Amino acid sequence: MESISSYMQQDHVAIDGIGERAVAAADAGAGRVLEREGSEFLRRLRRHIEMEEQLLFPAFEQRTGMTQAGPSAQMREEHEQMQPILAQMQTAAAAGDGAAYQRTTRALLDILVPHNQKEEQMMYPMLDEAMGVEAQALLAQVKAMAI
């Protein structure tokens, strides 16, 4: 049976793959490919964050009572730190500016890599455990949002 952890980790891998294609396009000076892949990377990353903030984190907080200080609060804070960088990446991708895209990608990865590790090693397993038998219903909602 698929867990929230496995589904969200698979989404991380898929998003990372798109991000790698965007960076490769930036390296190659392929502006149109950068625009397409960079935009898709940002769209998918933003959707992933929305799934967490609109569905997963509220469900976790409701079940555990950890609202002000807990893993979901930390994850939200890191999502906020990413927002201006994502906006800069969007501008660079739309302009086909490979150098700017690479700079902003490095800044994002400084936050995103440890963030994803914390989610995969702590947040998602805690979420699966907290949700118990209701995890599958929540996962179905997440999957519906992914469409």
Q: Residue type for 106, please?
A: R
Alpha carbon of residue 97 to chain centroid: 23
Give the per-residue pLDDT at 146.
Answer: 79
Per DSSP, the three-state class of 66 is coil
Rounded-to-10 torsion of CA 31, 98, 23, 106: -160
The mean predicted confidence, pLDDT, of the chain is: 94
Report the percentage of the chain scoring pLDDT > 90.
89
Give the per-residue pLDDT at 124.
Answer: 96
Using alpha carbons, select from 53, 42, 46 the residue that is nearest to residue 123.
53
- Express each pLDDT in 42-101 by its tens digit: 999 999 999 999 999 999 999 999 888 889 999 999 999 999 999 999 999 999 999 999
Please state, as a whole number, how many other Cβ atoms lie within 10 Å of the Cβ of residue 77.
10
Give the per-residue pLDDT at 12.
Answer: 97
Give the per-residue pLDDT at 1.
Answer: 81
Say yes or no to pLDDT of 147 above 80. no
What does the alpha-carbon distance between residue 140 and residue 147 come to, in Å, rounded to a whole number?
A: 11
Using alpha carbons, select from 109, 117, 128, 114 the residue that is nearest to residue 7.
128
